[in-house]
Structure 1
Amino acid sequence: MPSGLGLWALQYPGREERLGESPCTAMEPLLQDLIQGIGALPSVPFVLLGHSMGAAVAFELCLHLQRHDRAPVALLLSSHPPPDEVQQSRIHQSDDRQLWLEMVRVGGTPAAVLELPDLLRVLTPALRADYQAIESHAFTTGDRIRSEVVVCVGDSDPDVPADRAGGWQRYCEREVQLRVFEGGHFYLSAHRRRLIAEAARCLSPYLDTSAAALDASTP
């Protein structure tokens, strides 16, 4: 990370060190959990980044924060179509194998995981809860995002083509910036430094070190 830029990860219930907690099956309790987490952080300028389902969460979280005068400097929305172009699905009602085959299809999981039943037994409840939360969610459409918005997509993502990503403009007051990366739905694994640089650019007016300090040698 560039000097002066920190990283905070908001951990969902039912994950890693919160594995003993019940995962959220609806968006509202998840948002309330994350709002509480953000409230415990220092009040400094920040960029909010959400990927896939996380982009929908970040969008709703940003709307809440701006209503309470704590909006992020910028919102980075990764690999998610605009709200009015979301295709309805019922993946959370699938059996366990079909649920994981969907993860394999979008590229987030190697097929070999299907042969690890003990691991799947641990991870499936949280995955199913995620799908239920996003598939049952009705987006907030009354307010528009006032922060800078950068929409990031992979050029070979079958579910979020770049020509649809521009539709986020309908939900934002400022002109939306579109960044297209080589790769599929999980392009960000190979381009994390470019995403960090994008966040640093948004925060550069608040940093001692600008985004130009980030180069290929940065870990």
Structure 2
Amino acid sequence: MTGSSAEAGAWIRRFHPAPEAPTRLVCFPHAGGSATFYFPVSRAMSPGVDVLSVQYPGRQDRRGERCIDSIGELADAVVEELMPWADRPLTLFGHSMGASLAFEVALRLESRGIVPLGLFASGRRAPSRFREETVHRADDDMLIDELRKLSGTDSQVLGDPELLRMVLPAIRNDYRAAETYRFPGGPRLACPVVALVGTGDAQVTEDEAAAWAEHTTAPFRVRRFDGGHFFLNAHADEVMAEISGHIAGAAVADSR
């Protein structure tokens, strides 16, 4: 089996290319996050799975580009970038805002006849479960407090005023995208959905996680982990085992 002719660029990062891998995992960062958040996932899962990480504009080496504050607009752009990589089955993983984006990307892929092996929605309520949230309108101090509560931002960044000034615009933008997202309705996914949730995550209730079942005609399940919103930091091995097991099971099913 030979590798794809696609090349990683501004949107898609491929830290550990695995051209012989039979499937690809596409990872979507949380609000304020970057593709490098998934570097350990790429390192651990290669060469069995070819891991692609999405890099949103407005951060790191894309800091000079305009941020996109719409989940729909982001999804439109990501799908176009993913098409060259769709020569292998894709599994989508998104955490927090990234889960909403991964869902919208999955819908767009399926509308083109590309059904993912699965969607992993981590730390995010189902699209049909709306909450009125206004963190993106808060002043800088309140936004920083929110980041500290969720423990998803590097403590070195939070303690460095200069770095904070550099990253806050992108973080605020992402919060705006996440908090203004409204599920537009439409068809259910044809791919399986797995909701991952921290038992102590105030951002996602049991009902909100279970409601992901309403968005697929395929099998659905919830996997719970001890911890808060960023439970996956402490349970990385278990989360990756969950993903690997799902991909392996899907491959066996396809071969029958």
TM-score, structure 1 length as denominator?
0.87
Structure 2 CA distance for partners of 1:110 and 1:21, relative to 1, 3 Å: closer
Aligned to 1:166: 210
Structure 2 CA distance for partners of 1:103 and 1:86, relative to 1, 3 Å: farther
- Specify the SS of the correspondent of 2:52: coil
Distance in 1, Cα, partners of 2:249 & 2:205 = 32
2:80 maps to amino acid: Q
RMSD (CA atoms): 2.0
Distance in 1, Cα, partners of 2:246 & 2:137 = 39
Distance in 2, Cα, partners of 1:10 & 1:111 = 23
Higher relative contact order (CA 8 A, sep 6+): 1
C-alpha deviations, 1:93-118, integer Å up to 9, x for none?
11111111111112213666444211
Distance in 2, Cα, partners of 1:207 & 1:27 = 30
> How big is the shift at 1:146?
1.0
Distance in 2, Cα, partners of 1:93 & 1:11 = 24
Q: Map residues 153-192 of structure 1 onto 2, 5 A cutoff.
A: 153-192=197-236
Distance in 2, Cα, partners of 1:46 & 1:76 = 12
Alignment equivalent of 1:46, drawn from 74, 90, 110: 90
Distance in 1, Cα, partners of 2:123 & 2:231 = 9
> How big is the shift at 1:50?
0.4
1:60 maps to amino acid: E
1:203 maps to amino acid: I
> How big is the shift at 1:40?
3.0
User: Which moved further from structure 2: 67-76 or 159-168?
Assistant: 159-168
Q: Does 1:16 align with 2:60?
A: yes
Q: Which runs of 5+ in 2 are unaligned?
A: 1-44
Alignment equivalent of 2:121, drawn from 33, 58, 77: 77
> How big is the shift at 1:203?
1.7
1:84 maps to amino acid: S
- Specify the SS of the correspondent of 2:51: coil
- Specify the SS of the correspondent of 1:156: coil
> How big is the shift at 1:31?
1.3
Aligned to 1:63: 107
Aligned to 2:168: 124
> How big is the shift at 1:173?
0.9
Q: Map residues 71-110 of structure 1 onto 2, 5 A cutoff.
A: 71-109=115-153
Identity of aligned residues (%): 34
Distance in 2, Cα, partners of 1:175 & 1:207 = 15
Aligned to 1:143: 187
Distance in 2, Cα, partners of 1:160 & 1:197 = 22
C-alpha deviations, 1:47-99, integer Å up to 9, x for none?
10000000000111101110101121100000111123231111111111111
Contact 1:77 1:150 in 2 (8 A): yes
- Specify the SS of the correspondent of 2:56: coil
TM-score, structure 2 length as denominator?
0.75
Distance in 2, Cα, partners of 1:169 & 1:102 = 29
Distance in 2, Cα, partners of 1:2 & 1:28 = 30
Structure 2 CA distance for partners of 1:27 and 1:2, relative to 1, 3 Å: closer
